[in-house]
Amino acid sequence: MSSAALPALPADVARPPYDRDAVRIGIVHLGLGAFHRAHQAVATEAVLAGGDHAWGIAGVSLRSPDTRDALEPQDGLYTVAVRSGEGDRFQVVGAILRQLVAPEDPEAVLALMAAPTTRIVSLTVTEKGYCHLPATGELDRDHPDIVHDLANPHAPRSAPGFLVEALHRRRERGLPPFTVLSCDNLPANGETARRVVSAFAELRGAALGGFVAREVPFPSTMVDRIVPATTDADRALVAGALGREDAWPVMTEPFSQWVIEDRFADGRPDWTVGGARFVADVEPFELMKLRLLNGSHSTLAYLGYLAGHETVSQAMADEPFAALLAGMMSQEIAPTLPPLFGFDLAAYRAELLERFRNPALRHRTWQIAMDGSQKVPQRLLGTIRDRLRAGEPFERLALGLAGWIRYAGGRDERGGTIDVRDPMAARLRALTDGAGEDPARLVDAFLTVQDVFGDDLPADPRFRRAVTEALGRLLAVGSAAAVAERA
C-alpha cells in the first residue's frame, strides 16, 4: 500500500481527507509501536482531517527497525482495523509522516527533536523505557543506557538521554522547550517522566537541570485502548478488506479513551476532535484505569495463561475467571479509588468486563504478561497497600500477584517452559530455582527484590501471609481450581 493506492481503496475504507504534503511535523513520538498507532496517531489523524496541519508525527523506534521497515515503503500509511462482535471497520491513517530508527542515526532524531517546528515529544516506551526503579520511580543511575548516555550525550540510547540532549540543544539555540507527553501505562506518568528526565538533566549539569525543572512541562495522561499484537491472520484480513497488502496494520477495539492534563509549553492539537478530554488533574482517571483495567488485565493474563487460556476472551469465557475479576474490581479495587463526580464507576466496570469478552480481538495472555516486574508495582501493589492500610482483605489481588510469581518462574503447570519476557527474567528465574515448589520459600525469595516490593511490603506479615497462601493454592490445585475457589 502506498499513497498512490488510496484512491483505489474500497469506498467503505476511511482514508486521509487532507493533502499530506501540506502537513508539517509538530510531534516527535518515541516508541513507534502498535499502541501509539491505534491511539494517539488516530486522534491526531482527526486533527489533521479537521484542517490543522501543524501536527504531523515523526515516529522514532528506539530499538528495532521493524516498524520503519514495514511503513516506509507504504509512505507511512497503515490500516487501523476496529474489531468487535458486530463487525469490522477499517481506516487508513496518514498522520505519521516520517519513521526513524534511533540506533541507526541518533543525530537525525536529535535534529528533529530540536527543530523549531517540533512542539511536543510524546512517548510510549513502556515502563522499562524510563530507566527508573519501579518501586520508587526514581532514575536508575546504574542502568547501562543511562551510564552510556552520560558518557555519550550526542549519541544517546535511552528516552531520557534523547530528551535531555534535545532540550539542551534548544536551550543553547534560544528555542522554547517542547512539551514531554508521556502516554505510557504508569501511575502519574507525567510525574515519572519529569522525575527521571530532570534527574538525568541534573547529572548533565546544574544549569541544564534547572532549565528542565523550570521550563519543561510534563503533563500526565490516561490512555486506554486494547491493541493486540498483529498476526499473519490479521494481515490477511486487512488485505482482503483493502484489496492490497498492508505490511503492519494494527488491530483494536471500538473503545478509546485519552485524558490529558492541559499543560503545554508551546500550543497543542485540539485532540478533543479525536475523542480526547483535557482536564486540570488526570490522577483520578489514571488511577481508576490503572487499577481497574490494567490490574485486572494482568491478573487475568497470569492466571489465564497458567490455566491454558491463550487469549483474554478465552479466559473470560471460563466463568470463574470472569467472576474473579468482577469481584476483584467491585470489592477490592473500587473502594481504593477517589470519587469521580459525574462518572458512573459501576458502568465503567461492566464495560471493562464486556471489552475483555470481545471475541474479535485475539489479545494473547502471554503478550499482556510481559514485563511483569515493571508492571506489578503499579497495577497491583499500590492497590494492595491501600487495602492493607484500611485493614481490608485482598485475597483476589493476592492470587493475581501469586500468579505472576508462578509465571515468572518460567515453568507452566504441565512442566513446560514459559517464554518469560521481562528485564528481570534471569534474576527471577534464579530465585525460583533456589526455592523449589515451597510457597513460603518462593515468596521469601521474591520479596528480596526491593525494586519491585520496596521495604514496606516484605516487612508486613499480613501481606506475606496472604501471598504465600494464594501461591500455595496455585501450586497445590492449579490456576483454574484456585480461581474457582476465589471467584
Alpha carbons within 13 A on the beta-carbon side of 48: 29
The whole-number pLDDT of residue 329 equals 97
Given a cut of 80, whether residue 476 has pLDDT beyond it is yes
Considering only residues 231 and 2, tell me which one the structure prediction assigns the higher pLDDT: 231
Domain boundary among 250, 280, 310: 280
CA 397/CA 460 separation, integer angstroms: 16
Domain boundary among 280, 313, 328: 280
Same-domain status, 216 and 330: no
Given a cut of 80, whether residue 27 has pLDDT beyond it is yes
Domain boundary among 248, 280, 312: 280
Considering only residues 185 and 52, tell me which one the structure prediction assigns the higher pLDDT: 52
CA 22/CA 225 separation, integer angstroms: 29
Same-domain status, 170 and 234: yes
Say which residues have a Cβ less than 8 Å from residue 351's Cβ, sequence separation at least 6.
255
Assign 86 a pLDDT band (cuts: 50, 70, 90): confident
CATH number at residue 210: 3.40.50.720
Q: What is the pLDDT of residues 194-232, one digit of tens each?
A: 999 999 999 999 999 999 999 999 999 999 998 988 999
Assign 270 a pLDDT band (cuts: 50, 70, 90): very high
Given a cut of 80, whether residue 342 has pLDDT beyond it is no
Q: What is the pLDDT of residues 219-266, one digit of tens each?
A: 999 999 989 889 999 999 999 999 999 999 999 999 999 999 999 999
Alpha carbons within 13 A on the beta-carbon side of 444: 9
Same-domain status, 261 and 387: no
- Contact call for residues 35 and 67 (beta carbons, < 8 A): no
The whole-number pLDDT of residue 404 equals 97
- Listed residue (395, 115, 487, 74) closest to 266, CA to CA: 115
Residue 435: domain span: 283-485
CA 24/CA 423 separation, integer angstroms: 37
- Listed residue (237, 250, 172) closest to 204, CA to CA: 172
Q: Which own/partner contact pairs does 483-486 have at CB distance under 8 Å and 24+ positions apart?
A: 483/303, 483/307, 483/320, 483/321, 483/324, 483/399, 484/320, 486/324, 486/327, 486/395, 486/396, 486/399
Best-predicted range by mean pLDDT among 76-80, 282-286, 436-440? 76-80
Span 131-147, average pLDDT = 90
